[in-house]
Amino acid sequence: MKPQQVHSTRVHMVGLSVMLTLMALVTSWIAGKYSISSAQGGSSIALQPVVSGFANPVFITHAGDGSNRLFVVERGGVIKIIQNGQVLATPFLDIRDRVKVFGEAGLLSVAFPPNYAASGVFYVYYNHIDQNLAPPPAGEINDGYDTVVARFRVTANPNVADPASEERILLRNQPFTNQQWWADRVWT
């Protein structure tokens, strides 16, 4: 066996050992009913389910408007509201008619600007069903579903946004159906 192969084998063995250790820790953690205690026994934290029943949730945030609502993004194209511990039956936003769910594509994020309470506008990031919405630049392939960052407006009902209010503010060709998360950097 060549030295490089020995080194590679050792690296893989170390990696496997680390992975098995992590799996054991995770299993132990789950068995502890989501609770973790410090080795000194002086403090502990615990996770407790609040609501459930979401389909492929990928992001959660608040609007910064003091309403104490949480907004959960479902990758299929829906944003739902958690209010007073309940998931509201009517989605905040439903744009399934234009969101492509494929690979890592879908409705992936929402952001509320600091003046949301006054402006009623917010921003979403999704992949569009039309691969030709943004033509590829020279030399770039066109296999992915194009990225849209769009502005929407809430209606007179603060718990329902208008899907027809969309204003696209950024279009980008997506060469691939994976690695869609670069737009997280747009938000920050």
Contacts for 103 with CB less than 8 Å, ≥ 6 apart: 144, 176, 177, 178, 180
| Residue nearest Ca ion (C-beta atom) | 173
- Residue 131 CB, shortest distance to Ca ion, in Å, is 5
| Stretch of 48-56, 73-81, 141-149, 159-167 lying at the interface with Ca ion (CB under 5 A) | 141-149
- Residue 124 CB, shortest distance to Ca ion, in Å, is 19
- Structure tokens given for 123: 């921003």
In the bound state with Ca ion, the residue whose beta carbon lies nearer, of 132 and 157, is 132
Dist CA 48 CA 91 (whole Å): 24
Among 54, 87, 113, 142, binds Ca ion (CB under 5 A): 142
In the bound state with Ca ion, the residue whose beta carbon lies nearer, of 3 and 139, is 139
Dist CA 78 CA 76 (whole Å): 6
126 binds Ca ion (CB under 5 A): no
In the bound state with Ca ion, the residue whose beta carbon lies nearer, of 74 and 146, is 146
- Alpha-carbon torsion, ordered 112, 46, 88, 102, to 10 deg: 70
Total residues binding Ca ion (CB under 5 A): 5
| Stretch of 90-98, 115-123, 142-150, 176-184 lying at the interface with Ca ion (CB under 5 A) | 142-150
173 binds Ca ion (CB under 5 A): yes
Helices in the chain by DSSP H: which ranges? 3-31, 116-119, 184-187
- Structure tokens given for 126: 């999704």
Cα-based distances in Å from 126 to 65, 102, 110: 24, 12, 9
Q: Which of 171, 184, 179, 178 is closest to 102 using CA atoms?
A: 178
| Stretch of 55-63, 85-93, 110-118, 134-142 lying at the interface with Ca ion (CB under 5 A) | 134-142
Q: Which of 92, 91, 60 is closest to 73 using CA atoms?
A: 60
Among 80, 146, 152, 180, binds Ca ion (CB under 5 A): 146
In the bound state with Ca ion, the residue whose beta carbon lies nearer, of 131 and 180, is 131
In the bound state with Ca ion, the residue whose beta carbon lies nearer, of 94 and 146, is 146
Q: Which residues of the chain form contacts with Ca ion (CB under 5 A)?
A: 131, 134, 142, 146, 173
